[in-house]
Structure formats: structure tokens, C-alpha cells
Amino acid sequence: MSQQNLESLDVEAIREEFPILEREFDGQQVVYLDNAATTQTPDVVVDAMSDYYRESNANVHRGIHHLSQAASIAYEEAHDRVADFIGADGRKEVIFTKNTTESENLVAYSWGLNELGPGDRVVLTEMEHHASLVTWQQVAHRAGADVEYIRVDDTGRLDMNHARELIDDDTAIVSAVHVSNTLGTVNPVTELTELAHEHDALSFIDGAQAVPNRPVDVGEIDADFYAFSGHKMAGPTGIGVLYGKQAVLEELEPYLYGGGMIRKVTFEDSTWGELPWKFEPGTPPIAEAVGLHAAVDWLEEIGMDRIEAHEQELAAYAYDRLTAEGDVEIYGPEGGPDRGGLVSFNLEGVHSHDLASIMNDHTVAVRAGDHCTQPLHDKLGVPASTRASFYVYNTREEVDKLVAALEDARTLFA
């Protein structure tokens, strides 16, 4: 994105909607670059949730009084809004969970334990988040199925020739991350889905790092399942989304049981309610759904194309600045359409945890560790990395502060 176009996105006005970005520690204003873990929440989302608690707080689908009806309408409208946002075919294809991890587990338990068996293959990628890798690994172990991993090449991209070798008629499901939370790689998820469907396999896409910062149309991707989390897209914690094709969801058995998801219960047996409620037992995240609705409205008002371009510009700028330092190793593709809005790196001679601590002395908030991708870090040959991840409220000047803090680390560990 050109600087002129970047300026058309009024970042300073956007920042005013996030009072937390004005916080100071030891006289220094916070620089928040940990957005791949959790984005900050704008006032409009906080206000929407506060208004719900002040004016409409009641349980849903269980009462005929005014407050329960208002809460039920707000909760159902949140499903409708999310469905429209991602191109789903209505609320029956949108299930609210706690987070992406629970969405992965829902499919793995409801479908995987019932359908997988010896001789079946689960195909993942080497860059999977533990939410996907560990879940499918453990369910496959229980079911006696095999797990294979699409290789990551030296550029941080998937080896699609290897993908074509692995995905065959023994494959039952392909589960892949849309955007890597460590490498920043934007994967060809539509192509992976096509490969899966060519062999009558299902496709599951982890969109936790994609939906917050780029236009996503699940109809175009054609995945059978797609998951993401509210707290990574300017929404509240405690709510995630599982999209599933209606025809596929209709065939799945729930793996959590209780009130709110049943049609009829006798002492002998139970039957399930309609979608999406059969996968949402108990009291659901009502206030969080209201907040997610507000977050989606807020994101679309800015424009997902503009958010994507802004993040790509910042990631490219950070990549170039860090590369110029000479003693910084960066992981994943160079800045551009193949990279999302994050950069993971290591400073020569400094452990990532030490570097993150020094960054914190400069009030620069980054993430250090394996980012829930231990096998990927093993492949990279490093125990951990430092990750700076950007969002719509971040600026070039904040990237400059990140780079400036490296000098302190060099001095301390010289």
C-alpha cells in the first residue's frame, strides 16, 4: 500500500477509540505489538457489552419475559451478522464456541472420533498451531488413524507438491492454518480445500490469524469447516466461531450435552435441537456475542481490504528495518501478499525471552516463545522466537521503537 493510501486510513483517529494505547509505564507510552495473541478492544465494543448488561441482561431461549426476548434477539442477530461477515449461508452455519481451540475440538470429537479409523489419514501442515496439531494428533491416536504433515520449505511456504503427494484417497480430513501465527505465511487454503475434495476428504481451515485482518469468504474457500476467535478481531475474549457447511453439521453428533441444545428428553434417550443450537449447550456467551457483533460492525466500517493493506505495509516495513540490522534472523516469507501482519525473528546472541524483557523496558509489548508451534520451531532449529504482530492501530513509528530497542539488547549481551 502506498504511503498516500496508508494516510487515507486515519490511524490516529482509530487509536482514539482505544484508551489502553494511551497507557504509560515509567513515563513511556505503551507500544502494543502483540496482536496475534490478542487485539485491543475499541470503546464501541465495550459500550455494546455494557449496554447489554445494563439494559437486556437475561438468559436466552428460556423465557417469555421482555428481557429474555431482547437477549435472545441480540444473540441470534449476532449469529446472523457473523454469517454475513464471512459469507456463510445463514445462522445455521455459525456456531459460537469459546475460541478457535474449542472449535477444533468440537469437530475432532464430534466427527473425528466417530468417523476416523485405522487406515485413515489426517493431513496437517508443519506450521499448525497446537490448537490444530495437538487436537488432531490426539484424536487420531485414539481412533487409530495416521497423521501426516505437509512440509514447510526454506522460504516459509507450504510445499504444495508434497501436499499433492500426501492428500490421497486414504485422506479423511485436511486441516490447515490460513495464516501462520509464527511465519506470517498466507497459505493457499482454497487450493488445499480443492485437493481434499478431489479425494472425498473434508477440509478444516484455522482462520484465527486471517479473519481479523483480511476479507474472508467461506463460500469461495469452500472449506467444510472454518474457525476463528473474537479476541483477535477487536472483539471480546471468551467467544469463538465455528463455521460449518449446513449439510455437514446436520450429520454431526454433538460432543457437549445439556440444556438448550435438545429437542426432546426422556428417561431413555434424547434428541437434539436444530442448528446451530444443538452445538451450543448451556448458557451461551451472550454478552460476548453482542460484543462480537459490534466488533464486526466496526471492522467493516473501516474496511477489511484497508485493514489488510495496512498490516501488509507495516509487516513489510518491519521486515525491511529488521533485515537492515544485519544480526537479525527473520522467519517466513518476505513482506508482501504472502505474509500477514506479523514478523517473528531472533537477535543474534540473545534469547527471545531476554529480548522481550528488554523490549518491555521500552514499553514495547511483543511475544516471545514458541507461539504454540513447538514442532515448527524444532524444524527451524531454534527453541523460540520474538514476534511482533500488527493491527489497524499500529504505526511505522512504533516499528521504529521496536528496532531502536534492539541496541540495548546488543549492549547488555555483548
Residues annotated as catalytic (active site), given as ranges: 372
310 CB-side CA count, 13 A: 24
Please state, in angstroms and as integers, the Cα–Cα distance from residue 217 to each residue in 79, 243, 293, 346, 356, following that order: 16, 11, 17, 34, 36
CA 203 from chain centre, in angstroms, equals 17
Extract the C-alpha cell encoding 160: 504444495
Contact in structure between 90 and 225 (CB atoms under 8 Å): no
Tell me the C-alpha to C-alpha distance, in Å, between residue 236 and each of 14, 81, 119, 293: 18, 16, 41, 10
Cell numbers representing residue 331 in the block: 522467519
Q: What φ, ψ does residue 152 adopt, rounded to 5°?
A: -100, 125
Across-strand partners of 339? 185
Residue owning grid cell 511465519: 183
Q: What does the DSSP 8-state code read for residue 252?
A: P
The CA distance from 203 to 373, in Å, is: 21
Pairing of strands 171-177, 121-125: parallel
Rounded Cα–Cα distance for residues 110 and 284 (Å): 19
Question: What gap in Å lies between CA 324 and CA 60, rounded to an integer?
Answer: 55
